[in-house]
Amino acid sequence: MNKIVEKEHFSENVVKLVVEAPLIAASRRPGHFVIVRCGEHGERIPLTIADSDTARGTITLVIQAIGDSTRKICALEAGDFLTDVVGPLGKATDIQKFGTVVCCGGGVGVAPLLPIIKAMKQAGNRVVSVLAARTADLIILEPQVREHSDEVIIMTDDGSAGTKGLVTNGVESVINREKVDMVVTIGPAIMMKFVSLLTKKYEVPTVASLNTIMVDGTGMCGACRVTVGGKTKFVCVDGPEFDAHEVDFDEMIMRLRAYN
Amino acid sequence: MHNNTIAPRDAEWREQLRKAMTAKQRTAIPRVKMPELDPAYRITCNDEVNQGISAEQAVTEATRCLDCPDPQCVTGCPVGINIPGFVKNIQRGEPLTAAAVLKETSALPAVCGRVCPQEKQCESRCIYHKMGKEPVAIGYLERFAADFAAMAPENDWQSPAAVPVKAKIAVVGSGPAGLSFAGDMAKRGYAVTVYEALHEIGGVLKYGIPEFRLPNSIVDKEIDSLRRLGVEFVNDIVIGKTLTYDQLVAAGFKGVFVASGAGLPRFMGIPGENLIGVMSSNEYLTRVNLMGAGRPGWDTPVKKGHRVAVVGGGNTAMDSVRTALRMGADEAYIIYRRSEAEMPARVEEVHHAKQEGVKFMCLYNPVEYKGDEKGCVTTAVLERMELGEPDASGRRSPVPTGEYVELPVDEVIVSVGVSPNPLIPNSLSGEGLNVSRKGTIEVGDNMESSIPMLFAGGDIVRGGATVILAMGDGRKAAQAMAEKLEV
């Protein structure tokens, strides 16, 4: 049982929870995820860790209510408990000095992107962050991203904040004006697919953090399998981050609909 | 053998029992039949198929045992249970003592009585085979004694909670190997903590083996009795991730036993294997057994196939196909590349599956799956096989014929084996842990790895075996670790 110590609504359907999990807070690195269960009959849901506070012994999770289980989690209040939080799982992000790194996130993908932005900046990279959403209200964590980025580009579908356009337009504008050494992308699968197609064209190495369906999250079930470079990989133990140019996004998008 | 047992062969009561009846009289008694639920009823629910024998049947069956001077059944048991000792206690009407004899060597008798392949172990060595008769039903008797004791007030037969007085020992994984090790170490007075990655304790006994073969309540009772021995269980901890091996050592654990199991399901690498509706038996069984999928009020979904093909011939394949029937499949198939004679599954499981209406397509091997425009599987393309020369496993090998058939399916469950879970080996690769090419942890005869005081057993060492072999490893490791700690 893990106590929720803080809750914040980023938007109607997007919630930030700060959760007591001292062992995970101490051992997690950027890129890691946890499996969360809400209720004794609850589903096991993978959520990438957005932040941690070792002094308080907490981790931060950002959840979008898209199904029954995520709605249940989003309905919890400070003082309530998550039934299970286990992790940190997956491989941590490969953080090193690449030069200029573009970190692009869509929707709630910005939350797990934040620790990577921080770590990339700390490693001495020039970090350009591109945040994208349908509309201004859905842009999350902008101040925190600004704090750790050299530059922030906001893209919205309707132009209600930043520049009107897609995340790919923002990334392309950076690639066109300066040398980019690495792109990190986290967001909806369809977004990552198009970021990957774009950066492949420009031959910029790109890492995508995949958010597949999982059950145990420890390599046991294989529900999360994806094809990377023609080989089947398990997102939970081989990922969640992969060379985006090698990922079969169409297959991944198809598999995400397994229970729709 | 069995010097420290509460039921030695030279006990007076056993001598009297032996004299009470001739071998001819005993061998004239037919072997007991296990009462089973009717197949038509049982596929509508998850109730346990084998109902267990009655007290009267148990006494009669126990009477068949000749109480041999050199009992070979014991040599067939991976944990060396004092089999005649417990059987004769049943015969004399002391089932609680029989259970206590079982507990001397086995942490999980109610589990073993249900899922052990007795026909390949203890019962295969029974003297009755030499007379051309059916062996004593040791497995049924084990289950009877363990279940009888579980119904009795615990103080009647269980030792009271132990107070650990010796060193702290950590166990990674709460499956059969971990539980067996934990029980043995706790009995020796060690302070044992078992770390489990999942939210439930029990490992494969919970997520893998279905309710109709091994009810979770039975597993929980065995775990409770380990708790009474002083074993502490901590769930939701992934050793190598949440806590590292170094942290365990720093926290004062003097020995660690890794029993993290065979995590990674194998796939065949054929086209269409990632279509929706194709999944590993681990995924299918975990969804249904551990996550309650398909039961009202549980959140985890599972696809309910109408035409389900299960690929493989092991016990896990039988568990999967029988689960599919219970989830409402109209047609459920076993697709196996060799013939039925080579199937690794227990004869009883194959028999139960057939009774329940599973169709066996032996000598067929999937080569491709086809799907519809949404990516859902619709067809399994199967190649007909023939039996060739025996292969490395000693079984006749499947040889492709080039002839194909198409089987319409909407769900495929791949049950062709598992690989060791890489989490622990990966997390210790920098610490000098020797790992085989297959990913199993390499251990010596005493189950100790290349890291001193780090022992390992079960599927993380074997790569995929049975509950009882895993338990045997746990028992062996406990003995070896205790010997090292006590010098």
| pLDDT tens per residue across span B295-336 | 889 999 998 899 999 999 999 999 999 999 999 999 999 999
User: What pLDDT, in 10s, does the model give residues B210-224?
Assistant: 999 999 999 999 999
The answer to whether residues B85 and B101 touch, using CB atoms and an 8 Å cutoff, is: yes
Query: Is residue A22 less than 8 Å (CB to CB) from chain B?
Result: no
Q: Are residues A124 and A251 in the same domain?
A: yes
- Reported as a pLDDT band with limits 50, 70 and 90, residue B2 is low
Any domain includes A10: yes
Q: Distance (Å, rounded) from C-alpha A102 to C-alpha B33?
A: 70
CB contact under 8 A, B286 and A221: yes
**CB B448, CB B480: distance < 8 Å:** yes
**Chain B positions in Cβ-Cβ contact with residue A232 (cut-off 8 Å):** 267, 269, 273-274
Would A6 be classed as within a structural domain? yes
- Domain topology for B12-156: Fumarate Reductase Iron-sulfur Protein; Chain B, domain 2 (1.10.1060)
Last residue in a domain, options A89, A121, A138: A89
Q: Which residue of B has its CA nearest to A43?
A: B300
Please list the residues that pair with B376 across neighbouring strands.
Answer: B276
Per-residue model confidence (pLDDT) at position A224: 95
CATH number at residue A235: 3.40.50.80
pLDDT at B157: 52
Q: Which residues of A touch B204 (CB under 8 A)?
A: none
Final residue belonging to a domain, choices A58, A89, A120: A89
How many Cβ atoms sit within 10 Å of the Cβ of residue B296? 6
In a domain, A79, yes or no: yes
Domain(s) labelled CATH 1.10.1060.10 in chain B stretch across 12-156
Smallest CA–CA distance, residue B247 to chain A, in Å, is: 11
Same domain for A161 and A80, yes or no, is no
Q: How far is B431 from chain A (nearest CA, A)?
A: 18
Q: What is the mean pLDDT of residues B465-485?
A: 92
Residue where the block lists tokens 């490395």: B392
Q: Are B117 and B213 in contact (CB under 8 A)?
A: no
Identify the CATH class of B265-417: alpha beta
Cβ count within 10 A of residue B200: 19
Q: Tens digit of pLDDT for each residue in B72-125?
A: 999 999 889 999 999 999 999 999 999 999 998 888 999 999 999 899 999 999
Q: Quote the pLDDT of residue A24.
A: 97
ipTM of the complex: 0.93
**pLDDT above 90 for A171:** yes
Answer yes or no: do A128 and A80 share one domain: no
For position B112, what pLDDT does the model report?
92
- CA distance linking residue A34 with residue A2, whole number of Å: 12
The set of residues, in sequence order, having a beta carbon less than 8 Å from that of A214 and lying 6+ positions away, is A35, A44, A45, A46, A221, A223, A224, A235, A236
Mean pLDDT of chain A: 95
pLDDT on residue B159: 59
Residues of chain A with pLDDT > 90: what percent?
94
Task: Give the phi and the psi of residue A155 in degrees, each rounded to 5.
Answer: -125, 130
Chain B hits for A220, Cβ within 8 Å: 207, 261, 263-265, 282, 286, 421
Cα–Cα dist A173/A164, whole Å: 13
The predicted-structure confidence for B338-368, as pLDDT tens digits, reads as follows 999 999 999 999 999 999 999 999 999 999 9
Q: What percent of chain A has pLDDT over 70?
A: 100
Query: Which is it for strands A206-209 and A241-243: parallel, antiparallel or unpaired?
Result: antiparallel
Express each pLDDT in B375-408 by its tens digit.
999 999 999 999 999 988 888 999 999 999 999 9
Q: Is residue A53 part of a domain?
A: yes
The 10s digit of each residue's pLDDT in A196-237 is 999 999 999 999 999 999 999 998 999 999 999 999 999 999
Choose, out of B201, B238, B421, the residue to mutate when testing the contact with A (most A CBs < 10 Å). Answer: B238
- CB–CB of B107/B183 below 8 Å? yes
> Across the interface, do B276 and A89 touch by the CB < 8 Å criterion?
no
CB of B91 closer than 8 Å to CB of B57: no
Question: Do A188 and A212 fall into the same domain?
Answer: yes
Residues A241 and A121 in one domain: yes
CA-closest candidate to residue B310, choices B281, B337, B330 = B281
Give B118-124 contacts, CB < 8 A, sequence gap 24+. Answer: B119/B346, B119/B347, B119/B348, B121/B76, B121/B77, B121/B78, B121/B468, B122/B73, B122/B74, B122/B76, B122/B77, B122/B81, B122/B83, B123/B73, B123/B76, B124/B76
pLDDT at B154: 63
| Cα–Cα distance measured from residue B265 to residue A194, given in angstroms and rounded to the nearest whole number | 31
Give the list of residues 6+ apart from residue A16 with CB closer than 8 angstroms, or none.
A6, A7, A8, A9, A10, A50, A60, A61, A62, A111
Last residue of a domain, one of A89, A124, A149: A89
Domain with CATH 3.50.50.60 in chain B: 168-263+420-485, 265-417
- Residue B35, preceding peptide bond in cis (omega within 30° of 0): no
B429: pLDDT confidence band, cut at 50, 70 and 90? confident
The whole-number pLDDT of residue B162 equals 63
Return the CATH fold of B168-263+420-485.
FAD/NAD(P)-binding domain (3.50.50)
Alpha carbons B181 and B76: distance in angstroms, whole number: 20
Based on the domain organization, do A176 and A231 belong to the same domain?
yes
| A157 shares its domain with A185 | yes
Q: Domain check: are A112 and A61 in the same one?
A: no
Name the residue range of residue A79's domain.
Answer: 2-89
The sign of the torsion formed by the CA atoms of A83, A86, A90, A96 equals: positive
B242 chain-A contacts, CB cut-off 8 A: 23-24, 27, 86-88
Q: Is residue A46 part of a domain?
A: yes
| For helices B12-19 and B83-91, angle between their N-to-C axes, nearest 10 degrees | 70
The answer to whether residues A152 and A84 belong to one domain is no
- Written as one string, the DSSP assignment of B245-266 is HHHHHHTTEEEEEE-----EEP
Residue B9 has what pLDDT? Answer: 93
> Could you tell me if A115 and A237 lie in one domain?
yes
pTM for the predicted model, two decimal places: 0.93
Closest chain B residue by Cα to residue A91: B241
* Cross-chain residue pair A221–B280, CB shorter than 8 Å: yes
How many residues belong to chain A? Answer: 260
The dihedral region occupied by B463, where left means phi > 0, alpha psi between -120 and 50, and beta the remainder, is left
With a CB cutoff of 8 Å and minimum separation 6, the contacts of A190 are: A249, A253
Q: Is the pLDDT of residue A122 over 90?
A: yes
Answer yes or no: do A147 and A182 share one domain: yes
pLDDT at B263: 76
- Residue A11: pLDDT band with limits 50, 70, 90: confident
pLDDT band with cut points at 50, 70 and 90 for residue B3 = low
**A185 in helix, strand or coil?**
strand
What is the tens place of the pLDDT at every residue in B174-209? Answer: 999 999 999 999 989 999 999 999 999 999 999 999
**Chain A closest CA to B469's CA: distance in Å?**
20
Q: Could you tell me where the DSSP H helices lie in B298-419?
A: 315-326, 347-355
pLDDT digits (tens, 9 = 90+) for B269-301: 999 999 999 999 999 999 999 999 988 899 999
The total of structural domains in chain A comes to 2
- Whether residue A88 is preceded by a cis peptide bond, meaning omega within 30 degrees of 0, is yes
Lowest-pLDDT choice from A11-15, A85-89, B149-153, B156-160: B156-160
For chain B, the average pLDDT equals 93
Q: Please check whether residue A94 lies inside any domain of the structure.
A: no
Task: Let me know whether A240 and A143 are in one domain.
Answer: yes
Residues in chain B closer than 8 A to A216 (CB atoms) = 197-198, 207, 286
The whole-number average pLDDT for the span B50-73 is 96
